[in-house]
Amino acid sequence: MRILIAVDMEGISGVVHWDHVTPGHAEYARFRRLMTHDVNAAIRGVFEAGADEVIVTDGHWDNRNILVEELDPRARLNSGGPSPLSMVQAVDMETSGVMFIGYHARAGTPNAILDHTWSDSRVANLWINGRLTGEIGLNAAVCGHFDVPVVMISGDQSACGEAVELLGAVEVAIVKRATGRLAAECLPPEAAQKKIQEAAARAVSRLRVGQAPSPFRVESPITVTIELVHSEMTDRATLLAGARRLEGKRIEFVAEDTPSAYRLFRAAVALAKG
């Protein structure tokens, strides 16, 4: 049994501000260590429940946050980017299940630490087949293409709630209760990591007995609609082959499957930067 641990940073234990997750900021060094330790807690749970193999993928910012020298030696780490499948790099038909560690709610969610969708400065909203979708849904849909379910998530209560609403009964580890976008009641890492380890173990135990949630599948062809933050970003994103501009700040395109939709979405957001 092979588990992919896909990691973001906004939902890591103790994180409540961009300063905590932005390379170059004085506080960032503390939180990349906490990120690594949240991941190690998940790895302990996964092996404790009997999985054979763990791959970790660093999905935040430039994908170079996790401290490889402090990572559990039983795992392997996908670091750096861009990689073909970005935040879920390494997911394939041989993967048994995916865990989202340190994830955050989609743009516009109230009481959600650092809620955004892919790029806080460029993406106002994303719809997949007309449904508002954040990074949880987008990445889960790519995993679903390979028939792989998301089995666990850690983050604040809003991120965990979004995952359960969209994906079904995934195991959750709520490490903080957000009371705003930049405020939360946080568990200290020792307590948070115990919850992560336990949830990861429960998720693998359910996989072993065939009781994991179903893979998240999106019907093809896939219509992707993106609302950019400023209209000049939309001017640039519209240059993407196959994209057409809707009213105002939105573009839309159609993709044949979720990996293609993911690639085109990433390209549109990259173009928007200028």
For binding to Zn ion (CB under 5 A), which residues are involved? 8-9, 60
In angstroms, the Cα distances linking 213 to 93, 114, 152, 187 are 16, 27, 10, 27
Q: Which residue has the tokens 């079904």?
A: 168
Kindly tell me which of 105 and 212 has the beta carbon lying closer to Zn ion: 105
- 8 A C-beta contact, residue 87 and residue 6: yes
Query: What is the H or E stretch that residue 153 is in?
Result: strand 150-156
CB of 57 to Zn ion, least distance (A): 12
Kindly tell me which of 111 and 119 has the beta carbon lying closer to Zn ion: 119
> 20, 37, 60, 116: which one is catalytic?
116
Dist. CA 31–CA 39, nearest whole Å: 12
CA torsion through residues 22, 119, 154, 148, sign? negative
Kindly tell me which of 21 and 151 has the beta carbon lying closer to Zn ion: 21
CB of 114 to Zn ion, least distance (A): 8
Q: What angle do CA 161, 82, 14 make, to 5 degrees?
A: 40
Name every residue whose Cβ is closer than 8 Å to that of residue 23 and which is 6 or more positions away in sequence.
Answer: 61, 62, 64, 65
CB of 159 to Zn ion, least distance (A): 11
CB of 60 to Zn ion, least distance (A): 4
Round the CA-based radius of gyration of the chain to a whole number and report it. 18
CB of 273 to Zn ion, least distance (A): 16
Q: Is 116 a catalytic residue?
A: yes
Kindly tell me which of 9 and 233 has the beta carbon lying closer to Zn ion: 9
Q: If we measure between CA atoms, which residue out of 100, 54, 59, 101 comes closest to residue 80?
A: 59
Kindly tell me which of 60 and 106 has the beta carbon lying closer to Zn ion: 60
Name every residue whose Cβ is closer than 8 Å to that of residue 211 and which is 6 or more positions away in sequence.
Answer: none
Amino acid identity for residue 270 in this structure: A
Q: Which residue has the tokens 């998940």?
A: 42
Residue nearest to Zn ion (CB): 60
Annotated catalytic sites, by residue? 116
